[in-house]
């Protein structure tokens, strides 16, 4: 029995197999998902060959200390921004032995949203050690905290798969 919906478990399994076959390791830098991406991957037997490490950087202090997100970026753009997601993923890759990293930062709700940054806004960034970078801004809507976090895991697994296959 698994704690994950079947589609997430299937995607995580496929990703672990692909990354294992290609000798790729992954690092995660998670804010609004609180470690769920790493948890989905480590649910899969054999993931120890693929998952290097995960950073749960919920606070701004954790983002700056562990991932080297600049105070200036946080002050100018906020924790939930493309710029912060990109600095998070760069920091995760630099602080790991992984070839691919993913970062997520967003507003899962139920509170904390604003007209400019509503509940359901999530920024994701994926980076490969060769410099290939992808960013996605997702607006899942106010579909509930649980569903926003699961939707973010799904998007993160898609982005990791794209970089692993590219």
CATH number at 82 reads 3.90.950.20
Split into its structural domains, the chain has a count of 1
Q: Assess if residue 77 is contained within a domain.
A: yes
Q: Assess if residue 65 is contained within a domain.
A: yes
Question: Taking 80 as the threshold, does the pLDDT of residue 166 lie above it?
Answer: no
The confidence band for 108, taking pLDDT boundaries of 50, 70 and 90, is: very high
Domain, as residue range, for 53:
6-165
Q: Which residue has the tokens 């995660």?
A: 28
Q: What is the per-residue pLDDT for 122?
A: 98
The confidence band for 23, taking pLDDT boundaries of 50, 70 and 90, is: very high
Give residue-wise pLDDT tens across range 65-105. 999 999 999 999 999 999 999 999 999 999 999 999 999 99
In terms of C-beta density within 10 A (0-12 exposed, 13-18 middle, 19 or more buried), how is residue 112 classed? Answer: middle
The confidence band for 1, taking pLDDT boundaries of 50, 70 and 90, is: low
Q: Assess if residue 1 is contained within a domain.
A: no
- Backbone torsions φ then ψ of 9, nearest 5 degrees: -60, -45
Q: Assess if residue 32 is contained within a domain.
A: yes
């Amino acid at each position: 029995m698994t704690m994950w919906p079947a589609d997430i478990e299937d995607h995580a399994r496929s990703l672990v197999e692909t990354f294992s076959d290609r000798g790729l390791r992954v690092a995660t830098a998670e804010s609004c998902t609180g470690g769920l991406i790493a948890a989905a991957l480590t649910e899969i037997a054999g993931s120890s060959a693929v998952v290097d490490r995960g950073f749960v950087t919920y606070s701004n202090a954790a983002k700056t200390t562990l991932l080297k997100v600049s105070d200036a970026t946080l002050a100018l753009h906020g924790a939930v921004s493309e710029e912060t997601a990109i600095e998070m993923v760069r920091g995760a890759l630099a602080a790991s032995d992984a070839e691919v990293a993913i970062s997520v930062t967003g507003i899962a709700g139920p509170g904390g949203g604003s007209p400019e940054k509503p509940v359901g806004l999530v920024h994701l960034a994926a980076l490969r050690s060769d410099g290939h970078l992808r960013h996605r801004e997702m607006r899942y809507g106010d579909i509930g905290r649980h569903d926003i976090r699961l939707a973010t895991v799904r998007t993160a697994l898609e982005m990791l798969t794209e970089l692993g296959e590219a």
